[in-house]
Structure 1
């Protein structure tokens, strides 16, 4: 996840990629049969802040007015677009999408897309010095109650925040750890040793499930479904409730 130098301006939000944007894009690509092509703009982040408005003209002959989605499902059209962009900006054509932002993309024989972060997780295990750890079957003990006021303070706060931040990014493809990661995030300002033990448990779970990831199947339609659930005053420190929302777009 990267951002340009313009993000230093407090009045301008940095254009950081959101995980939900990636998942929605892949769902649309499968539904409409779009090609997934990867390009890298040379020196994109070495330029200063733009003071003027920037306009990009539509490449001639790129859009089929009868069906605008066809442009993205035609290899020849994609080739023309990449060629056009290269003339304008200078880029590297990396071909079929297979790896981006620490996410590995594969294409199962039965169709669809499979996203995983195996390499990213392995690197994180090395960072936490847990590359040879014993694995465990679940990321958190059911019914675990974490408190900010019980337990000895964890000294290396920077390490805690770094590992937990990386775990947040792993939820892009490993949705099943979202709850446990959310729990340890609640104490990122002042973690204790018990919180760190929970973080290590999540890492041990990931170490034993490296091959798992997120499977996208071609959706029959783009229906949106939402589900919500909540407990009641479960936080032992302030009595607040915890709730969660799950939204499916096209069955994903």
Structure 2
């Protein structure tokens, strides 16, 4: 499946708007708005499909027919001033990897590498699961808070969970319970999630 990226020039106006404005795809573009997401537009033709995903000024065009993709890109470029970045490698921070038979895999390896580096875990020893089932984490209102970037680490893991890694959702949800006064064993649990990644 081909996937190209376009960037709309001057998508932002420099004036302050006094009223709320909702925009829709211009007439003549012949794309249907997705029922599930108002930023996704769909067109089918001769058994093929093209998807146009819009995020502010960035546009991702993908589909089952290269001819249909090219036709829709050209149609958009006649209506808007935009640059054609060609094949899309990243969208919203997620890497797109081409697979066999036209499949596309979404990969956040760069994000994982960045957060491991940010928290000093890039050389950590890998583990097979994100949770140590033998540990019993408890919170204590009398314990003193440790000086580690616990909240930042849990926030980075939450972002990863919602974007691409549901396999760590339970572990991240569990450690997030200890945000108020994190203790050493809670930090160890967060580092285990990093080791699992």
Normalised by the length of structure 2, the TM-score is 0.68
Query: Which among 94, 98, 106 is matched to residue 115 of structure 1?
Result: 106
1:51-86 deviations in whole A, cap 9, x for unaligned? 3443432335678x9859745143333223323333
Checking the alignment, whether the CA contact within 8 Å between 2:157 and 2:172 is kept in structure 1 is yes
Checking the alignment, whether the CA contact within 8 Å between 2:119 and 2:153 is kept in structure 1 is yes
1:103-162 deviations in whole A, cap 9, x for unaligned? 122122255332221111111111112222222222111254322217541234xx2222
Superposed CA RMSD in Å reads 3.3
Query: Which among 26, 31, 34 is matched to residue 57 of structure 1?
Result: 26
Please list, as runs of the form range in 1=range in 2, the aligned pairs for 1:225-244 lying within 5 A after superposition. none
Q: Are residue 38 (structure 1) and residue 5 (structure 2) matched? A: yes
Query: Which among 166, 178, 197 is matched to residue 156 of structure 2?
Result: 166
Query: Which among 72, 87, 92 is matched to residue 96 of structure 1?
Result: 87
Residue ranges of structure 2 left out of the alignment (5+ in a row) = 33-42, 51-63
Please list, as runs of the form range in 1=range in 2, the aligned pairs for 1:1-252 lying within 5 A after superposition. 35-44=2-11, 47=14, 50=17, 51=19, 52-59=21-28, 70-72=48-50, 73-109=64-100, 112-142=103-133, 144-149=135-140, 152-156=144-148, 159-171=149-161, 172-206=163-197
Distance 1:47-1:198 versus aligned 2 partners, 3 A rule: farther
Residue ranges of structure 1 left out of the alignment (5+ in a row) = 1-33, 207-252
Distance 1:111-1:77 versus aligned 2 partners, 3 A rule: closer
SS in 2 for 1:141: coil
Distance 1:113-1:66 versus aligned 2 partners, 3 A rule: closer
Distance 1:42-1:189 versus aligned 2 partners, 3 A rule: farther
Of residues 175-184 and 163-172 in structure 1, the stretch that sits farther from structure 2 once superposed is 163-172
Mapped to 2, the partners of 1:198 and 1:66 lie a distance apart of: 48
Distance 1:109-1:75 versus aligned 2 partners, 3 A rule: closer
Mapped to 2, the partners of 1:61 and 1:153 lie a distance apart of: 58
Mapped to 2, the partners of 1:57 and 1:75 lie a distance apart of: 23
Normalised by the length of structure 1, the TM-score is 0.55
Checking the alignment, whether the CA contact within 8 Å between 1:152 and 1:193 is kept in structure 2 is no
Checking the alignment, whether the CA contact within 8 Å between 2:175 and 2:186 is kept in structure 1 is yes
- Number of matched pairs: 171
Checking the alignment, whether the CA contact within 8 Å between 1:146 and 1:195 is kept in structure 2 is yes
